[in-house]
Amino acid sequence: MQLKPLLEKIYPLHRTLASEGMDEALHIVGDALPPSANYTIEIYTPGDAIWTWQVPERYVVHEAYLETESGERVVDFADNPLHIVSYSLPIDRMLTWDELEPHLFYNEKRPRAIPWHFKFYQRDWGFCLSKNDFDDLPRDVRYRAVIRSEFLPDPKDGGFRVGFGVQHPEDGFVPEAGEILISSHICHPMQANDDTAGVVTAVEVAQRLEENPLPAGSMSVRFWFGPETIGTIAYLAHNEALIPQMKGGIFVEMTGNKNTIAWHRTRQHDHLLDRITNYVLRERDHLERNFADFPPNDERVINGPGVNVPCISVNRWPYDEYHTTDDNPDIIHEDMLQDAADVVEEIVRIFGTNYIPKRKFRGPLFLSGNDLWVDWRDNFILNRSFEKIMMSLEGQHSIFDIAEEVGLDYWIVREYVEKFRQKGFVEALPIPSEAQSA
């Protein structure tokens, strides 16, 4: 599917932690996901404890502007939602320049752009404007700062929301196989690459899995969308029973700009998921970073203390337009979105179909008598490797481990091992979970 039109529908919405814009964005994502994902929106009550945090209130902005004492309006939320600091407190005051200046934010490096700032938990207020406009403001007049905003704790007002869907392999959910989690945040207002791009990339992966599901016995794939950090905390805190079945995660963001693919390792650093990602990226230019290197995001929750589900991050950071009005659809490229989906999809397909084969036979197998011998004239490399593969089916190494050891493509080795399994010579053991119970 074409991803940029979907991105352009989500981009202009006032998407904060909990708001009408967030609600609308979550519904747009649900409409774009395939039916097989069984998309669901969960609603949580503001103020409820979620581990060491609390569910945030909904945020409503009725109007917000800054004008001179003569009535000249110099900043207006109606023109662009980035003009106010997200989650600003209400205010209606006349201020001198010295009183106002600490509440004004701009970007020195991009003087024509409006920056995006937020104070979700500091309980403060502020306006954002371009450096050029800031420089043009007279210092010898007073200003009226008006922000008519509300913080709504009552769940009847809409609550705090996240969305998710799950796609199962061909034969349905296999509890032993577990799940892989694909996560993207959707809470940055008027930001196209961060992270509307990651959201639509994840949707594309779901569409591809609809067209070509993972084979029977594979992991399920859970897609999650919501506010950064706090949304993931709220979701996992309300669904702790899911954590043990999560075998790995991929946080996807900032995938639409013209830049090379970058990825962040898991907290484990040399996990199976890290090795598979390196394998997928082996023939393309890419950047590699340590776990939670800048910019750190929801992998700190998924792979963090008390959860510890191995999680990588895939992005195209850095880019100069980051957190400004220059992060708009003009910098988004369809081929970059699709290319990122290629990477994520291949990681999912390998990680999700991988398993640990354990032999159910004794002695060297009669390969030719069971149609398992490989003629060297048909596949010389596999012919030179099938004995080593057969000796590796002790229930200690996954198919990917074996492929690495013999130096063959994962899919070639998996197809060969599947022949053993289909004949009853091998049983498939699941990849173990490394998730923590508390």
pLDDT digits (tens, 9 = 90+) for 277-318: 999 999 999 999 999 999 999 999 999 999 999 999 999 999
State the pLDDT confidence band at 378, using cuts at 50, 70 and 90: confident
Q: Tell me the pLDDT of the chain averaged across its residues.
A: 97
- Please provide the DSSP assignment of 404-417 as one string: HHHT--HHHHHHHH
CA dihedral 236, 242, 247, 248 (to 10 degrees): -30
To the nearest whole percent, how much of the chain has pLDDT over 90?
95
- Per-residue pLDDT at 384: 85
Q: Residue 272: name the closest of 172, 373, 351 by CA.
A: 351
Q: How do beta strands 246-252 and 261-264 pair? A: unpaired
CATH code of the region 58-152:
3.50.30.90
Q: Tell me the average pLDDT across 177-199.
A: 97
Q: Specify which residues 112 forms β-bridges with.
A: none
- Per-residue pLDDT at 377: 85
Q: Check: CB of residue 269 under 8 Å from CB of residue 290.
A: yes
Q: Tell me the average pLDDT across 337-343.
A: 98
330 or 385: whose pLDDT is higher? Answer: 330
* Separation CA 246–CA 228 (nearest Å): 19
Spacing of C-alpha 138 from chain mean position: 43
pLDDT digits (tens, 9 = 90+) for 407-438: 999 999 999 999 999 999 999 999 999 999 88
Q: Tell me the average pLDDT across 101-120.
A: 97
pLDDT digits (tens, 9 = 90+) for 358-369: 999 999 999 999
Q: Tell me the average pLDDT across 165-179.
A: 97
Q: Tell me the average pLDDT across 63-68.
A: 98
- As to burial, measured by CB atoms within 10 angstroms (0-12 exposed, 13-18 middle, 19+ buried), residue 346 is middle
State the pLDDT confidence band at 178, using cuts at 50, 70 and 90: very high
Domain segments of the chain as ranges: 4-56+157-353, 58-152, 356-429
Is the N-terminal amide bond of 35 cis, ω within 30° of 0? Answer: no
pLDDT at 380 over 80: no
Q: Residue 314: name the closest of 280, 351, 273, 343 by CA.
A: 343
Q: Tell me the average pLDDT across 133-157.
A: 97
- Side chain identity at 179, as an amino acid letter? E
Spacing of C-alpha 48 from chain mean position: 25
- Per-residue pLDDT at 438: 80
CATH code of the region 4-56+157-353:
3.40.630.10
Can you say whether the dihedral through the CA atoms of 280, 286, 289, 291 is positive or negative? Answer: negative
Topology of domain 356-429 in CATH is Arc Repressor Mutant, subunit A (1.10.10)
The b/e string for 201-218 (b: 16+ C-beta within 10 A; e otherwise) is: bbbbbbbbbeeebbeebb
Q: Check: CB of residue 302 under 8 Å from CB of residue 279.
A: no
- As to burial, measured by CB atoms within 10 angstroms (0-12 exposed, 13-18 middle, 19+ buried), residue 67 is middle
